[in-house]
Amino acid sequence: MTEESKGRAVPGGRIGRLGGMGRIVGGIAGGIVTEGARRLAAGERPKMNDLILTPKNAARVADQLANLRGAAMKLGQMISMDAGDILPPELTQILARLRDNAHHMPPKQLDGVLTAEWGRDWRRKFRHFQAHPIAAASIGQVHRAEMPDGRTLAIKVQYPGIANSIDADVDNVATLLRVSGLLPRELDIAPLLGEAKRQLHEEADYERERAMLERYRTLVGDDPAYVVPGSDPALSTGRVLAMEFVAGERVEVLEAADQATRDKAAEALVRLMLRELFAWGVMQTDPNFANYRWQADTGRLVLLDFGAARVIRPETQAAYHRLILAGLSGDRDAVRVAAVETGFLGAAATERHRATVDRMIGVILAKLDQPGAFDFGDRAFVPVLRQEAATMAEDRDTWHLPPVDTLFVQRKVSGTALLCARLKARVDVRGMVEGYRHASFGATGG
């Protein structure tokens, strides 16, 4: 039996988690020395970033973050998801391990959490409680359980000490990025760090997640494209979320499905994202593939994990609306102005790199203007954008952080597009967006 299958205890104390971060830093430092010596011996003069972003260093980071879990792993997941087509493929593949199952708690640690939440006789509540989790992620793991009345539940159990470690984990990861030189010291990331801490604290509040779960059940209603499990309030606490077990396969199985099925699933994903942004004003901002399941027999998407659901400010809704309509109009100047207003582009970068920005907008507009359904599988334009973006990125004085609300929304938008690309789906995005041409934004939906 492997160490992973036995489970690895979550470091709960500040010293234990600090030691985990220390091992990440130490491993990277050792990797830098080794790789630097190798390249110097080969007659190269490597840059520091080239020494940091090696596959071995990425593997070290992925392994340690998977063991720490909590905010540290969550931030690693965000980097791996949001990196998209920016990081080298081998690094993206290694970091993608963080989107799969984490190490899980050993039985003794699990029993301690459930005893604290439900009492010493907690096993009597169930006909059967499956000790080995059916899923394990950054903040908690999920177990299958059968109730005496015949119901089957999915029980999400939070790792011990996670909520108390969030602030320190975020600060430690930020320090790691600073020390690595991947972020310029002039870039003010304090607002982003503050918001990351706030959202992660919200994700660790399972009572809040249960409320969001029920809110989404109401919003989705009887739409035949989706399934949202119901919750069990009697068994749910701040650290345990009990909900209906809904069968479904990993959404990645759709990659082997026929074109029509892939298109249907992708259309449901895009339609959901547009409803969240332009109709409901509330969005589940974590597009991790593990948060979806596919029911082949019903053709429905199962929606899971609402800890990252958040209300979207009307100002952000309106800004996205202007940007998208400008894109549909094909007006390059209008897109540039809307991109700055939305916060995607900084005014300084736009002014200094106007020609580059216009070329990037031109590439995107050419893709949008192609007749027929939008082909997410056609990624020929991505290398062109990557090359243009790399030129701008070299000018670190113009680096810019979009508003926090925009970052979280864009994470969902980009993640949805990435999943549609994995499915090589074709979707009439233009037609779907046209339905919101005259949308107005004020009070939030639901």
Q: Indicate the domain borders of the chain.
A: 3-104+162-199, 249-446
Cβ contact 277:310 at 8 Å: no
For residues 64 and 67, give the distance between their C-alpha atoms in angstroms, rounded to a whole number: 5
For residues 360 and 383, give the distance between their C-alpha atoms in angstroms, rounded to a whole number: 11
Assign 436 to helix, strand or coil: coil
- Token duo for residue 144: 């299958």
Q: Could you report the per-residue pLDDT of 369-389, keeping only the tens digit for each?
A: 888 899 999 988 888 887 888
Q: How sure is the predictor about 278, in pLDDT bands with cuts at 50, 70 and 90?
A: very high
Q: How sure is the predictor about 3, in pLDDT bands with cuts at 50, 70 and 90?
A: very low
Q: Could you report the per-residue pLDDT of 81-126, keeping only the tens digit for each?
A: 444 444 445 445 544 554 444 567 889 999 999 999 999 999 999 9
Please count the other Cβ atoms lying within 10 Å of the Cβ belonging to residue 283. Answer: 24
Give the chain's radius of gyration (CA, Å): 23
pLDDT above 50 (res 355)? yes
pLDDT above 60 (res 23)? no
Choosing from 232, 286, 305, 405, the catalytic residue is 286
Q: What percent of the chain has pLDDT over 90?
A: 48
Q: Which is it for strands 374-375 and 426-427: parallel, antiparallel or unpaired? A: antiparallel
Residue 286: active-site member: yes
For residues 103 and 445, give the distance between their C-alpha atoms in angstroms, rounded to a whole number: 37
Q: Which positions ≥6 away from 189 have C-beta within 8 Å?
A: 174, 183, 401
Q: Which of 289, 286, 277, 280 is nearest to 248 (CA)?
A: 289
pLDDT for the residue 258: 97
pTM: 0.79
Q: Which is it for strands 226-227 and 300-303: parallel, antiparallel or unpaired? A: parallel
pLDDT for the residue 177: 62
Cβ contact 206:240 at 8 Å: yes
Cβ contact 72:18 at 8 Å: no
